[in-house]
Amino acid sequence: MAAYSQEHAADASPLWKHVRKEWKLYSFLVIPLLYFVIFKYAPMLGNVIAFRKYRGGPNIFGSEWVGLQYFEMFMKDPTFWRAFFNDLTLSVSYLLVKFPLTLLFALLLHEIRWMKWKKFVQTVSYLPHFISMVIVAGMVKEMVSLTGPINALLAKLGMEPIAFISLPEWFPTLYVTSGIWQSLGWGTILYLAAMTAINTELYEAAKIDGASRFRQALHVTIPGILPTVMVLLILDIGSILGSNFEKILLLYNPLTYETADVISTYVYRMGITGGNFSFATAVGLFEGIIGLILVTIANEVSKRTTKSSLW
């Protein structure tokens, strides 16, 4: 493999010598980096069709420049803005519920002394993370259907049945609850990992000071995992315009578009179903750029306030 020719042929510089010396290790990277170029960076380049009219080829980068035409179009489209705000609402409400619950659950798990029981709870609570979104959505539909267990419970309480799946006001609840179901356990793994890394002497010292377990958690555990908390929070903020596309696509219907339609599903309907490739790409690109900006801001803020950051 002519691997060493792949990078900077900066003649006779120390870097060149370095590459030459380590060429075997570098050669490992050739195919994977090529993979990244093709499957990650080429589609980024492909975003150019947001500014060009795509006509099905032969030029896969579109046939003529149209500038910001598609951006102007979607900016004027009330449906886009509805999707935009739905995205925000769903992600923020999910984040607000998930973040404290996961942290609390991790702290409680950490306090369990009976190891077998702890193990069992962990095993069970991680499980939903591995279940296909198709099944998760199917389960949600079965659980909340008019003949399902939730409505059966309502009936026992003497209440009228509720057609959850077709009522827009219920969609955020379904979205958040099923999200918690899927990720509550899984979300604790990194916290638990961080907790085991805390120096046990700190706990000893706290005990000598007469701190209760609650106070230990407050003054030792939480500060100990703060960097992890911050990193996860940054990641979550970065994806605040990235509500769970697959789940929404599987769960929503025209009756619930009002609260359920988000940017990615809007892109799907306009692009894949409607065949408006360029328009949909423009919307997707907009979403991607906002996400990038958000994660950068969150990272900076975190760097300044808590000294933990992604990069």
Partner 1 sequence: MKRTKSISGFTLVNGFIMIVVVLFTLYPFIYLVAQSFSSEAAIYNGEVSFFPVEFTTKTYEVILSKPDFFRYYGNTVLYSVLGTVIAVASTAVMSYPLSKAKLRLNKVFIPFVLFTMYFGGGLIPNYILVAKALGMRDTIWAIVIPGAISAFNVILMKTFFANIPNELEEAGRVDGLDVFGIFTKIILPLSKPILATITLFVIVGMWNNWFGPSLYLQSKEKWPIALYLKQIIDNAVSPTEIGAASEETSQIAATVKSAAMVLTSLPIICMYPFVQRYFVQGMMIGAVKG
Partner 2 sequence: MKKVRKAPVMAVLALMLAFMAACSSNGNDDNGAGNDTSKPSESANANNGEAADYTFGEGQTFRSSEPVTYSMMYSDHENYPYKEDWRLWSAIQEKTNVSFDLSITARTEYENQKSLLVNSGDAPYIIPKTYDESAFVASGQIVPVSDWVQYMPNYMKAVSDWGMEEDLKAKLKEDGKYYVLPGMWEVAGGGYSYIIRKDVFEAAGVDVLGQEANWTYEEFYEAMKKVKEHTGAKYVISDQFKGESTLNIAAVQYGVTGGWGISNGLAFDHDKQEFYFADASEDFKAYLQYFNKLVQEGIMDPESFTQEDDTARAKFFKGDTYVINGNYQLLSDFKSKMQVDGELYMIVQPGGPKGKLQIETSRLENGIMIAQRALDELGEEDFIKMLRFIDWFWYSDEGQTLALWGVEGETYTKDAEGRIVLNKDIYYNGMNEGAPKQLNVDYGFAGGMFAYGGTAKLKTSKMTEGEQDYFNRILSTREPRKLAPPIMATAEESEQMNLIMTPLIDYIKTMTLKFITGQESLDKWDSYKAQVEANGSTRYTQMANDVFQKTKSKLGY
How many residues belong to the site for partner 1 (CB under 8 A)?
97
Contact 233, 255 (CB under 8 A): no
Binding of partner 1 by 85 (CB under 8 A): no
Q: Where are the beta strands (DSSP E) in 88-228?
A: none
Sign of the CA dihedral running 197, 232, 293, 70: positive
Rounded CA-CA distance 263/126 in Å is: 29
Q: Which span (70-78, 100-108, 130-138, 218-226) binds partner 2, by CB under 8 A? A: 70-78
Binding of partner 2 by 5 (CB under 8 A): no
Contact 34, 1 (CB under 8 A): no
Rounded CA-CA distance 306/311 in Å is: 14
Binding of partner 2 by 269 (CB under 8 A): yes
C-beta closer to partner 1: residue 105 or 170: 105
Tokens (6 digits) for 176: 């958040």
Rounded CA-CA distance 263/241 in Å is: 8
The nearest distance, CB 157 to partner 2, in angstroms, is 21
C-beta closer to partner 2: residue 14 or 58: 58
Binding of partner 1 by 200 (CB under 8 A): no
Binding of partner 1 by 246 (CB under 8 A): yes
The nearest distance, CB 271 to partner 1, in angstroms, is 5
The nearest distance, CB 259 to partner 1, in angstroms, is 21
H or E stretch covering 52: strand 52-53
C-beta closer to partner 2: residue 151 or 182: 151
The one-letter code for the residue type at 58 is P
Instruction: Tell me which of partner 2, partner 1, none is bound by residue 128, counting a contact when its beta carbon lies within the kind-specific cut-off of 5 to 8 angstroms.
Output: partner 1
Binding of partner 1 by 134 (CB under 8 A): yes
Binding of partner 1 by 53 (CB under 8 A): no
Tokens (6 digits) for 277: 């490739």
Report phi then psi at 34, rounded to 5.
Answer: -60, -40
Contact 216, 206 (CB under 8 A): yes
The nearest distance, CB 71 to partner 1, in angstroms, is 14
Binding of partner 1 by 65 (CB under 8 A): no
Contact 286, 71 (CB under 8 A): yes
Among 5, 79, 199, 212, binds partner 2 (CB under 8 A): 79
Binding of partner 2 by 160 (CB under 8 A): no
User: Which DSSP state fits 197?
Assistant: T
Among 51, 84, 252, 268, binds partner 1 (CB under 8 A): 268
* Number of other CB atoms surrounding residue 177 within 10 Å: 16
The contact set with partner 2 (CB under 8 A) reads 34, 38, 42, 54-64, 73, 77-80, 146, 163, 165-167, 253-255, 257-258, 261, 269-270, 272-277, 279
